Amino acid sequence: MHRVPLIDRAHTTPERQALLDEIHGAFGATPAMFRAVANSPAALRSMWEAFKALGGGTLGARLGEQIAVAVANRNACAYCLAAHTVLGQKAGASAADMAAAQVGDASDPQTRAALRFALKVVNERAQVGSADVQALRDVGFSDEAVVEILAHVALNLFTNYINVALEVPVDFPAVALRHAG
């Protein structure tokens, strides 16, 4: 059972309704996570604006979703794992690509480097070194992209913590957690 009410966009304040209507328009539905976050209009505005901003960044939707599933898998966030697997496939990744991303792997060296860096940031609580950043540059990432990888990690930590702490019900097809081999 979820720990906060899921706000109904048809029966809420005008500010919440406007944000939830925008989200509904983007997804064709109003995912439960956003309905839970809508308990705080400030948090909802922050989360939604971050999604929109990063969606227009240099990394592209596919890599952003692969980072999201890697972080979700590491944090055992069933909601984000399910949601971002669907979104990753809509962005052109295969089911196999998304499964590999869960454990920080990819056939493409650049994607693999980004995923491994993202997981190191999560695992080491951002205590990475110059060599870790240089490894991203060595596979072709700009400093702008390095910062965006970190922003994706931070946004996904936010969403993972919301969904896990508040037990938000998963409204996407379930995806099994994977353990690195």
The 10 Å Cβ neighbour count of residue 126 is 11
Q: How confident is the model over 47-87, as pLDDT tens digits? A: 999 999 999 999 999 999 999 999 999 999 999 999 999 99
Q: With the C-alpha atoms ordered 123, 133, 115, 167, is the resulting torsion angle positive or negative?
A: positive
- CA 123 – CA 126 distance, rounded (Å): 8
What the block records as the tokens of 171 is 């409204």
Q: How confident is the model over 92-110, as pLDDT tens digits? A: 999 999 999 999 999 999 9
Question: For the chain, give me the number of helices (H) and strands (E)?
Answer: 9, 0
Per DSSP, 10 falls in state T
Which domains, ranges and CATH numbers included, belong to the chain?
14-55 (no CATH), 61-165 (1.20.1290.10)
Per DSSP, 178 falls in state -
DSSP three-state, residue 177:
coil
Asked if 24 and 35 touch (Cβ cutoff 8 Å), the reply is no
DSSP string, 25-40: HHHSS--HHHHHHTTS
Average pLDDT, the chain: 97
- CA 57 – CA 150 distance, rounded (Å): 12
Per DSSP, 168 falls in state P
pLDDT attached to residue 30? 98
